[in-house]
Amino acid sequence: MKKNTLSLLFSLSLIFFFLSLAWGAEPFKVGLIASLTGKTSYAGTHMKIGAEIAVSEINARGGINGHPIELFIENDDSQGSKSPAAAYKLIYQDKVLLIVGPTTSDGNFSVQKITDEAKIVQLATSGSSPRLTALKQKWFFRLALSTDYQMKTMIDYLIKKLGMKRIALMVQQSEMAKGAELAVLSELKKNGLSPVIQEKFQATDSDFSAQLIRIKNATPQALALLGDSPKCAQVAQQARSLGLMAQFFGGTTLGAGDFIQLGGKAVEGTIVSVGFYEDDPDPDVQALNRKVRERSKEKAAYHTSAQTYDAFYILEKYLKNTKLSYNYNDPQSLARDREVIWSALTKVKNYEGVSGTISFGPEATPEDRDGIKETILLQVNNGALVKIWPLKRK
């Protein structure tokens, strides 16, 4: 396997070398940190798919200001503890101009300090914890929907549309889930409510019966499933087997195909908050679905492939006519190039991407660093996700 991987990397290097000669221009180096294996590999693989589609298209039409994009991909195995090593390699060995990723909120947190100290843009196309933009780091931009926005829409819908006020939480001990938990609690408080019960579980747990029995006895109308999609599917199955019939709801992770596949009938009716909807009739969304099918085994795009795809097209548009040195061996020149990229991203305003309307700004605040703010609610119906709010696209 290692020999095959090295052979593939060598072949790709040769191909890019000859392409670079043909172009006669230094490459625009981009690093991608994604979870290609492990528990969040579905989201990470879609990041890679979205990046590769965009890079091939942009390079086919001339690259970024005549410079072909060269993509350096690192796999953190769905472990935030492995993301820093990937970031150090991309920044100091490969000398990329910016980093896209990682996939998880934990991974993004572990890389933020590194990118901030190195003064290089970190463009997160996955990772929903509100704390990622609350830390006010200059070099961090997020092109993924924060759970603050997700849960505001969700809680409003549960309370005002469905009349549900008795809400319980089942929370995995991860950065992403903790962020979602805080968002739910905040929205409940704004409505004069508090949860009827809160329970926690670990990523390594397989038996949730003790927590679920306590939740059942609290008689909630709705239960937040906050965690990785495979674990939440297990929780849902065990909850239903115990006779817990509360309305399930959660964030973007429950929109992953494996949640519905693994959860089966137990997850029917679950309400999910997302920023991207693969069945949106928008021609650009359907075009991306076709491209994903052509390039991979996946049936359609996912929010991480759409957001990563948008990230590269934002770079192409907002770096147009900017001047970079592409002198990767001179630290001062490289630092100036990275600053130019940061400045370009702060000027993104109302960019209409496949994943929604995207805007950034110069201030290191959630308002200027959370590029996507619009939320869509979907519901699992006969093994598929169906849009329930808003009924019409804004």
Instruction: Give CATH for domain 2-144+281-362.
Output: 3.40.50.2300
Task: State the pLDDT at residue 3.
Answer: 42
d(CA 167, CA 215): 10
pLDDT of residue 255: 85
**What pLDDT is stored for residue 175 in this prediction?**
85
Look at residue 20 in the predicted model and tell me its pLDDT.
52
Whole-number pLDDT of residue 23: 54
Q: What are phi and psi of 80, to 5 degrees?
A: -55, -25
According to the model, what pLDDT value does residue 250 have? 98
Q: Note the pLDDT of residue 69.
A: 99
Comparing CA positions, the residue from 277, 259, 267 lying closest to residue 241 is 267
Burial annotation 255-293 (CB, 10 A radius, 16+ → b, else e): bbbbbbebbeebbbebbbbbbbbbebeeeebbebbebbe
Pairwise CA distance, residues 243 & 325, whole Å? 64
Predicted confidence pLDDT, tens digits, the chain (394 residues): 444 444 444 444 445 545 554 457 999 999 999 999 998 999 999 999 999 999 999 999 999 999 999 999 999 999 999 999 999 999 999 999 999 999 999 999 999 999 999 999 999 999 999 999 999 999 999 999 999 999 999 999 999 999 999 999 999 998 889 999 999 999 999 999 999 999 999 999 999 999 999 999 999 999 999 999 999 999 999 999 999 999 999 999 898 778 999 999 999 999 999 999 898 999 999 999 999 999 999 999 999 999 999 999 999 999 998 999 999 999 999 999 999 999 999 999 999 999 999 999 999 999 999 999 999 999 999 999 999 998 654 4
Same fold yes or no, 2-144+281-362 and 148-274+376-389: yes
Delimit the domains of the chain by residue range: 2-144+281-362, 148-274+376-389
Q: Assign domain 148-274+376-389 to its CATH superfamily.
A: Response regulator (3.40.50.2300)
> Which among 141, 127, 254, 240 has a CA at the least distance from the CA of 178?
127
pLDDT at residue 176, as a whole number: 86
Cα gap 70→210, rounded to integer Å? 51
